[in-house]
Amino acid sequence: MVARLLLAAVFAFAAAAKLRDRRGARQAITSFGVPSAAAGPVAVALPFVELTTALLLVVPRTATAGILAAAMLLAIFTLAVVTNLLRGRRPECHCFGQIASGPIGWTTVGRNVVLLIIALLGFEEALLIPVSVPLPDPGVVLAFAAVLAVELFIALNLVRQNGRLLVRLDVLEQRVAAVAPMAAPSRGLPISVPAPSFQLQGVHGETLTLEALRAANTPVLLTFVDPQCGPCNALLPDLGRWQTEHSSKLTIALVSRGTPDENRMKSSEHGIRTVLLQRDREVAEAYLVTGTPSATLVSPDGRIGSVLAEGADAIAALVAQATGTATPTAASHQCGGAVVNPGAVRLGEPVPPLRIPDLNGAIRNLANVRTPTAVVFWNPSCGFCQQMLAELQAWERERAQDAPQLIVISTGSAEANRALELRSTIVLDQDSTAMRAFGVSGTPSAVLVDAGGKVSSLVAVGAPGVMSLLAPSRPALTS
């Protein structure tokens, strides 16, 4: 009786611990060498088998079957432990859940052997029970069989349910991974706010201000670097080449820190001009820059003209967009991305005279825009557009007085666009003429047009970029 009760307590405790930490139990089973496909069902079924064994051990009429089941389970567990130890592997035991979790060892084998001896001694005593002891009542046997069948049914349904949940989780993870690049929050200062002014010393002792950099009446690319930053040093050859190739379209200025000597040596090697030195990170903090290399565009009128580009690839794309040198895609337009057309209107240039019909058939000329306006490029069948529709509708309801007007340039039928229930003007660009004119090849995207009818921002891509353009103007941050 003592052997039966001890074994029953061990198996009941082990089963309860596994049920409380099912994920850990599954990981432990996998680490013991059970294939991943079978680990889930084994992890679900094992606690029920252990509970059934404990129940058999407690009931006197089923004691022999319980002791036999306990001995078989202990033998299987011991064989699995010894096999892994002989292969030089020591996975987590997790036999009693998180309470007694730890790597297996020969002490684990010793513990199992002691329990196995107790089970065998109990089995021997059970065999010596006189034959005159009545056999189990058929009703008890049937009841036990019914309980076991219910447990197996529950276990199988749990396995199936867990399988369906895992499949759904995999699908959701794939969808999140696909949307993540578009949903990432934009960093840096919002587009169209006044750029923080600064006065910094150059590597040759000269003093330059933001106003002096804007004197050429071209966009200014402020590129934040650090002499100890490996990716920054790898980008220097490209920055030197861009300064030479695009000097008439773009002013490139490096904002660095450190001593003039180390910055002068690195910049002169690649023919880089205009390197400005911060005392620490005061200008980077004013522009909300947290890492290097990063870059942001300042328009000729002194406002932020782009979202913050972080990393060499993003900076190269920003330079290409600002200078109109990017390679267009083969498709006329795509959902979820944008590529600049080299022949498109650039920052600071007037909006081309595009005559486009609205949903009622009236012709609208975009060149007649004379109030700050955000032009949003849309496609009713684009999933990314649908995901931000509620946010755009909320912006319309709560639009601030100093926020820009909104014009939506969309594809699709008039009925599909009316179903959007947007209050702003919607015009139909069925042949993508307007998208090509603005250098846009993906939706959702947006660009700002100032009160003079000139493009005042680069193309913003994705919901975060579009909503950043729609935000009302805020005071610039100063260092």
Please determine, for residue 176, whether its predicted confidence score (pLDDT) is greater than 60: no
Same domain (yes/no): 354, 272: no
Same domain (yes/no): 178, 194: no
Same domain (yes/no): 153, 197: no
The dihedral built from the CA positions of residue 150, 152, 157 and 158, taken in this order, carries a sign that is positive
Same domain (yes/no): 12, 117: yes
What pLDDT was estimated at residue 298? 92
Does residue 171 form part of some domain? yes
Same domain (yes/no): 296, 317: yes
Does residue 430 form part of some domain? yes
Same domain (yes/no): 211, 354: no
Q: List the CATH number of the domain containing 315.
A: 3.40.30.10
* Nearest-angstrom CA–CA distance, 255 and 178: 34
Confidence of residue 180 (pLDDT cuts 50, 70, 90): very low
Q: Which of 139, 157, 183 is the last residue of a domain?
A: 183
Same domain (yes/no): 163, 244: no
Q: Which of 183, 206, 232 is the last residue of a domain?
A: 183
Same domain (yes/no): 404, 255: no
Same domain (yes/no): 425, 373: yes
Amino acid in the structure at residue 278: Q
Same domain (yes/no): 161, 124: yes
Q: Are 81 and 68 in contact (CB under 8 A)?
A: no
Q: Are 254 and 276 in contact (CB under 8 A)?
A: yes
Give 27 or 98, the one with higher predicted confidence: 27
The dihedral built from the CA positions of residue 281, 282, 288 and 294, taken in this order, carries a sign that is negative
Does residue 153 form part of some domain? yes
Does residue 328 form part of some domain? no
User: pLDDT for 211-257, tens place per residue?
Assistant: 999 988 889 999 999 888 878 888 999 999 999 888 888 999 999 98
The dihedral built from the CA positions of residue 256, 262, 263 and 267, taken in this order, carries a sign that is negative
Please determine, for residue 175, whether its predicted confidence score (pLDDT) is greater than 80: no
Range of the domain at 78: 2-183
User: pLDDT for 348-396, tens place per residue?
Assistant: 888 888 888 999 888 988 888 888 999 999 988 787 888 889 999 999 9
Same domain (yes/no): 309, 339: no
What pLDDT was estimated at residue 100? 54
Other CB atoms within 10 Å distance of the CB of residue 308: 22
Please determine, for residue 338, whether its predicted confidence score (pLDDT) is greater than 60: no
Q: CA–CA distance from 112 to each of 7, 46, 121, 438 (Å)?
A: 11, 17, 14, 74
Q: Which of 167, 183, 199 is the last residue of a domain?
A: 183
Q: Are 250 and 219 in contact (CB under 8 A)?
A: yes
Q: CA–CA distance from 77 to each of 4, 32, 72, 73, 334 (Å)?
A: 19, 10, 9, 6, 57
Tokens representing 335 are 């959902």
Angle, helix 138-183 to helix 462-470, in steps of 10 degrees = 50
Domain count, the chain: 3
Same domain (yes/no): 392, 351: yes
What pLDDT was estimated at residue 336? 53
Give 407 or 81, the one with higher predicted confidence: 407
Tokens representing 232 are 């920054």
Query: What's the whole-number mean pLDDT along residues 417-427?
Result: 92
Q: Are 81 and 21 in contact (CB under 8 A)?
A: no
* Nearest-angstrom CA–CA distance, 374 and 471: 10
